[in-house]
């Protein structure tokens, strides 16, 4: 299963709500420019999380693109660090429910260093409390050095 929130229209132009995949295993929740955190969270609550629960994954992999951050020059979704923290908690809960807590997060995008620092740090704090106390510290030190 593949689930995505993304700004639309924006490159590459795919990801319409009706694009469900050959086996109905794709959930696209496109958002318009300037939609912000409330619409992002609603898309997750109403479209993605119910389908994810129905699918019952054994592993969740997050392709964490932070170009949706309000400071980022690429997209215009105007999300804040708290929105990324919220979605991380929701996905961690989903992983606990169906995947024995198995979850991986991979950095995909984000092109404003301050926005990237904020966006990566907030989800790491949620993961930090459960499993990886030293991981957050290393990431935060690295991002602090970049944002200077």
Residue 36 is part of which domain span?
Answer: 2-147
- Give the number of domains in the chain: 1
Query: Is the per-residue pLDDT at 143 higher than 80?
Result: no
* pLDDT exceeds 70 at position 23: yes
Q: In three state form, how does the secondary structure of the chain look?
A: CEEEEEECCCCCCCCCCCCCCCCCCEEEEEECCCCHHHHHHHHHHHHHHHHHHHHCCCCEEEEEECCCECCCCCCCCCECHHHHHHHHHHHHHHHHHHCCCCEEEEEEECCCHHHHHHHHHHHHHHHHCCCCHHHHHHHHHHHHHHHC
Kindly tell me if the per-residue pLDDT of 34 is higher than 50.
yes
Which CATH number does the domain housing residue 76 bear?
3.40.800.20
Q: What is the mean pLDDT of residues 15-27?
A: 92
What is the band of 2 on the pLDDT scale with cuts at 50, 70, 90? very high
- The model's pTM is 0.83
pLDDT digits (tens, 9 = 90+) for 100-136: 999 888 888 889 988 988 888 776 665 655 544 444 4
């Amino acid at each position: 299963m593949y689930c995505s929130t993304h700004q639309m229209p924006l490159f590459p132009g795919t990801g319409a709500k009706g694009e469900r995949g050959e086996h109905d295993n794709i959930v696209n929740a496109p958002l318009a420019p300037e939609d912000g955190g409330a619409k992002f969270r609603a898309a997750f609550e109403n479209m993605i999380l119910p389908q994810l629960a129905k699918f019952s994954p054994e592993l969740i992999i997050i392709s964490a693109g932070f170009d949706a951050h309000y400071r980022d020059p690429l997209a215009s979704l105007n999300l804040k660090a708290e929105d990324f923290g919220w979605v991380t908690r929701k996905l961690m809960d989903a992983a606990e429910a169906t995947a024995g807590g198995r979850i991986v997060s991979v950095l995909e995008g984000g092109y404003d260093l301050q926005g990237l620092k904020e966006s990566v740090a907030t989800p790491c704090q949620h993961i930090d409390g459960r499993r990886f106390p030293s991981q957050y510290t290393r990431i935060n030190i690295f991002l602090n050095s970049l944002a200077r």
